[in-house]
Structure 1
Amino acid sequence: MRMLLKWILSAVALLCVAYLYGGVEVRSFGAAMVAAFVIGLLNVVLRPILVILTLPVTILTLGLFLFVINALMFWAASGLLSGFHVAGFGAALLGSLLYSLLGLVIESALGGLFSKK
């Protein structure tokens, strides 16, 4: 139940990013659902590999290169999907930052909702 709710809220967050920032376009809620799933899948499968491969650069930039990796995952998802479009790398960077901030809000809300007291 928690995972399904997080997926739906992530799709809503993606729609919010598209509403707040013109560099990100999402055609429909269904496209947002698929895009949220693909972004999550890329973050689970590809992101850890990229983090390990770019560890020296990440250490050199004091962790700021992780923003670039997040933007690449966001941009890669837009390249794989037709209903989700990101205008360029700069748009992917800002869009991924907004999406990550909304993801933190979702995580904290779901943590409070599903916490066992």
Structure 2
Amino acid sequence: MKIFLKILLTAVAVMVLAHIIPGVLVTNYVTAVLVAITISLLNMFVRPLLVFFTLPATIVTLGLFLFVINAIIILLAGKLVAGFAVSGFFTALLFSVLLSIFRSFLFSLLKEEKK
């Protein structure tokens, strides 16, 4: 149930960011849910491979290259999901940074108090 809620919160964040950032297009809410699912699957399967193969660049840039990897994930999602488009690399970079911030904030609302 929590995974479903996280996907819906990510879809809400995608829709909000699509309205805020020029150059990001999401056609409807179903597309936003598909984008959320695609991004989570890409983060699960593709991101670890990209991090592994670009480890030297990540070490040299003190971790800043991870922002580039996040932008690549957003661009891949734009290619895979019809109805979701990102106009360029820097738009994807801004989108990925803001999406991470929004997701962190929204997911912190889901935290349960431990007794």
Shared fold per TM-score greater than 0.5: yes
Mapping of 1:1-117 within 5 angstroms?
1-111=1-111, 114-117=112-115
CA distance in 1: counterparts of 2:74 and 2:113, whole angstroms: 30
- AA aligned opposite 1:73: I
- Identity within the alignment, %: 47
CA distance in 2: counterparts of 1:74 and 1:100, whole angstroms: 11
1:59 Cα deviation (Å)? 0.4
Q: What TM-score, normalized by structure 1, do the two folds share?
A: 0.95
Q: Is the 8 A contact 1:75 1:92 kept in 2?
A: yes
Secondary structure at 2:25 match in 1: strand
1:116 Cα deviation (Å)? 3.3
Q: Which runs of 4+ in 1 moved over 3 A?
A: none
Q: Is the 8 A contact 1:23 1:95 kept in 2?
A: no
CA distance in 1: counterparts of 2:8 and 2:79, whole angstroms: 21
- AA aligned opposite 2:57: V
Structure 1 range deviating more: 97-106 or 58-67: 97-106
Count of equivalent residues: 115
CA distance in 2: counterparts of 1:51 and 1:105, whole angstroms: 24
Q: What TM-score, normalized by structure 2, do the two folds share?
A: 0.96
RMSD after superposition: 0.9
